[in-house]
Amino acid sequence: MDFYALQDSLLRNSKSGGSSDTVDVESRYVLIEKIGSGSYGDVWSATRRTGAKDVYAVKRIDKRHAGIKGLRSVMGEVETMSLLSHPNIVKLEETYQDEACLSIVMEYLPGGSLQHRIDRQNVSELETRRFITQLLMAVEYIHEKGIVHRDLKPSNCLLSQNDLVVKISDFGLSVFAGNKQCLTTCCGTLHFMAPEILLEKNYGKPVDMWAMGVMAHVMFFGRYPFQARTEAALTKDICRGYLPREEGGGGLPCPSLLQDFISQLLLYDPHRRMSAKDALKHPWIKEGLDANRRTSLYPSQAPSVTAMKPSARWRAAVLAVIGVQRLLYLQRIQRLVRLGYDGFPILRDYRYLVTGKYVPASTSVECSHMFHARPMALLELISMINTCPFLKHVDLSWNNIHSLSVIQSLLKVVTRHPSLQSIDLSHNPIPAVAGRSIVRLIRNPLSQVTSINVGDTGISADTIGQINSF
């Protein structure tokens, strides 16, 4: 799948109302019946018009209803799913679009959602263990790739026929975070949200483990661990860090190992919470499994990486690295979109957004007039300049620079830059007070800068004379 071509086409078509290079999913698939509804459209069961008659799930997104913001969110989900291949994650097959809809073809699971299974009848301890073990394997897999799901809950998990296999199906809120606690957006479903999200603290992978604890509780007890009647009261209960002790169905005692397992996931402190890898080693998980059963939890198992030929392992590793880089790039492009800076090609530099290193084609960066409409976007460029050790000249003339903070940020980087020698700041409404900082820069013996053009700015003639004299 050419993800970037699809994304550009989608966003272009959502503005123009269509394109001749689109393909209607119904030209390739027969839609059988509607099996669900989502925020922006419906989900259908379908079969291919030619070849094998396997059943697939087709999610049809109404592009006009979704809008630019919704389409970007959907494409984030598509990109994430395209990177993942695991027995407990729904497989993305392909995507299509016509003038009205984006269609996402996915693996079909006839058992419905895990939430429907919980609502239908009690889930035994044995079944709870089987479902949780499979989901933990999937969470361990995505966490190893640096992805945080952020919306794990039974309604986002689907079951195979006879309820033998459970798979995570919705990655709409997933994001790449590496191993850092760097996320701040408040999102998810309240009953499954960890305290650190509700308290607006930085968070990371442990929020998924909290959600796994809530899911285990809901499966076995048939109710949420925190059950206040209002959102405010529920938020308070979740954030107070106290988990009430439960009894099992019919008033029977809860198995002690299961109670301990849940309590180790619902710890208030995210640093003390079990990771997915730790949870898979918990006695409650291991109690029902012998050493050979972990790989026989599924009717069919994908080939292990160790069973591949060396060349295939190398290719899989390379593709995994490329995939994570693409996800990271998309995440950082979305940040530029939120700031309103995505219209500047220089800021979309792939290598910089993925590696944090800016490597331009020459030792000179020419940006005259480029940021005139959005001068604050120069703060992003300044961060890029700071990472390039061989840059010699930067032209920032005619960019409507009127903010002292932009000038101060630039001078801070320039003062310690190992190679930058000349800067053109001419024809900008730079505040007069910035002149003193520029003079100090020129006089600084540690600076490599030998020339700063500040002609036709707000800086006084006397100060310009001092700058030019050096």
Catalytic positions are 151
Provide the edge-to-edge strand list for the sheet that holds 393-395: 364-366, 393-395, 422-424, 451-453
Choose among 184, 180, 194, 192: nearest CA to 146.
180
How far is 309 from 303, CA to CA, in rounded Å?
A: 11
Polymer length in residues for the chain: 470
How far is 90 from 106, CA to CA, in rounded Å?
A: 7
How far is 320 from 326, CA to CA, in rounded Å?
A: 10
Q: List Cβ neighbours of 66 (8 Å cut-off, separation of 6 or more).
A: 14, 39, 40, 41, 73, 74, 102
- Residue 277, annotated as binding a ligand: no
How far is 182 from 184, CA to CA, in rounded Å?
A: 7
Strand pairing report for 393-395 and 364-366: parallel
CA dihedral 310, 81, 154, 210 (to 10 degrees): 70
Q: How far are the Cα atoms of 387, 389, 436 from residue 446, in angstroms, in the given order?
A: 18, 15, 17
Phi, psi (5° rounding) for residue 197?
A: -70, -50
How far is 470 from 466, CA to CA, in rounded Å?
A: 7
Instruction: Please give the annotated binding residues for ATP, written as ranges.
Output: 59
